[in-house]
Structure 1
Amino acid sequence: MAEKEYSLPRASFDKPVKLLIVVAPFYRDIADNLIAGAKAEIEASGGTWDLVEVPGALEVPTAIGIAERLSNFDGYVALGCVIRGETTHYETVCNDSSRGITMLGLQGLCIGNGILTVENRAQAEVRADPAAMNKGAGAAAAALHLIALTRKWGASRKGVGFIPEAQEYKLAGELKDNPKA
């Protein structure tokens, strides 16, 4: 008997949410299915999305890092597919793309990782298919849940705890310059 997977209820938002879908379309049909699943999940949560394509899975974390520095997205969906070949390149691409995404996540970016790492095309097809495993939607849902957590916890930090010294000096200067602040 197959195990039934549990999914969290869909994230909900009281303010608009916008995600960037970053996809490596090396296997175009697989990528298109992942994208379809991600878009549908984002829209079902009331969110909007933009889409960019990059040459390969190794460039996905870099594109997300650039977007974080230069744009204003709430979160990111990383999509692509790496199918095992005859060389060790598979391990490099899988490990390094995942590591890059994880490092960005640990810096506070809200990223759902939907880069498939599979042994063969058949595994990729079933995982990408919106009518089957729908891993594109799963990656979007993960990003949306992280955004919801960030908003939940981010709101409670205002006025709680200590003010870092540099910020305290800046705040004191602003108050001195503008007594109504």
Structure 2
Amino acid sequence: MTLNRLRIATFLIAACALNPGARAQNDAKTGCPAAQDMKAEQLFGLWTASFTNPPDGLPATATMLLERHAEFSESLAGMISRDLGAAAGSAKIAGHAAKAALAGDLEDGMLLLDESSNGTSITGTWNGEMVAGSCGKAFQGSWKDTSSSAPDNAPDVPFTLRKLP
């Protein structure tokens, strides 16, 4: 009878492992939560943003603060700070401010943020994925300039976000 129970238990374990809908709670190699299991609150804190080929006038790095959204507790809010230097106030970055508000969500491992330099219109969008093995401390994706100063065919700008200690 014990051998029979062992066979049944082995069969059930194997059947669960083959279920494509089953997800491990942690990445077996790193011990990190799976990207789909990350919650917005795990992203709260300071981040550094690095851009590859940012538009003229915008710096290659910025600092981002992510916090709990005041109205939607499962969502993100925050601020991005950029050193605009000599470009501040120029026509080519007219739609961007040194500090811009952020709001968005973390959905199935995708970081989706809207940026607003004026508090009214969306001046940039962020779409990124958690870097495998980063335990939610790095995201890569693309930022899109949607400001009034952006050309109609504004390119997607690759970015990397890294959480600061």
Report the TM-score when normalising by structure 2: 0.27
Higher relative contact order (CA 8 A, sep 6+): 1
Choose between structure 1 and 2: higher helix proportion: 1
Choose between structure 1 and 2: higher strand proportion: 2
The structure whose Rg is larger is: 2
Report the TM-score when normalising by structure 1: 0.26
